[in-house]
Amino acid sequence: VTRGDGTFLTYTQSRDLDEENGSSSSYCLRNAEGEILKKYFPFENENLGQWGLFSPFWKEEDQIYLVCPLNFTIFRFEDGEMEPWMQVDFGAASADFGKIKEEGEIDFDDLREGGTKVLKMDYLIHTGEYLAFSFFVDGETKFVIFDKDRETLYYSDVLYENGVLPKCQLQAFRNGRFLALVEPLDLIEFSKSYPHSGFEMKKPSESDNPYVLTFALAN
């Protein structure tokens, strides 16, 4: 992620190992020459650094956010420091991070096959009106949207079950509308189940590319 002052934040799967104390970090602040100026979120056990694979960067205008691996705390980058901004609690769907940290090992396949634990968050949307993000659980990507003015939470599963939206992946917010991607098969299933949904679209084909869906929350 490039910053306005000529520095940029980077993520590396190899995790820059700190030979001095044996810890490793997935995130680094670098200068234009690629030299490391500062490291963030060091792991005492290098194996745990793999968790950073599930922690993306988000950039909203001039503000940069990222998620601290292992506890889903969203940090905001301020003046070279990572300031805690918000922690997301997935309740029973949260992985046992305390146990993972204690054991120093992560069995990603076991967590994935279990199907009920949140493995990653992505696509943070933060505006004056809304806070929204996507997350991966139960083998698929889901999302929540919080309407700040009405203090109302919209959960993707509920929107799907009530025929408001086809299954989709939230991507962005532009000009007062949310943007999402819809796989052709999901759009076909939606059009069969809700033929009078009011969506204006051609008859989808399995061979189509994902559709771009735009929608706004009703007043």
Asked whether the beta carbons of 121 and 133 are under 8 A apart, the reply is yes
- Alpha carbon distance 55, 152 (integer Å): 26
Q: What is the pLDDT of residue 209?
A: 85
pLDDT digits (tens, 9 = 90+) for 147-160: 999 999 999 999 99
| 78 strand-pairing partners | 81
Query: Does pTM surpass 0.85?
Result: no
- Alpha carbon distance 26, 105 (integer Å): 16
- Alpha carbon distance 3, 62 (integer Å): 8
Asked whether the beta carbons of 57 and 11 are under 8 A apart, the reply is yes
| Alpha-carbon distance values, 38 to 7, 81, 122, 125, 215 (Å) | 11, 9, 24, 27, 40
pLDDT digits (tens, 9 = 90+) for 36-60: 888 876 655 555 555 555 556 677 7
Asked whether the beta carbons of 36 and 25 are under 8 A apart, the reply is no
Q: What is the pLDDT of residue 158?
A: 95
Q: What is the pLDDT of residue 45?
A: 57
Q: Provide CB contacts within 8 A for 127, sequence distance 6+.
A: 60, 173
pLDDT digits (tens, 9 = 90+) for 81-120: 888 888 888 888 877 777 776 776 666 666 666 667 776 7
Is the per-residue pLDDT at 35 higher than 70? Answer: yes
- Alpha carbon distance 176, 162 (integer Å): 23
- Alpha carbon distance 163, 90 (integer Å): 25
Least confident of 3-12, 14-23, 35-44: 14-23
Q: What percent of the chain stands above pLDDT 90?
A: 19
Q: What is the pLDDT of residue 130?
A: 92
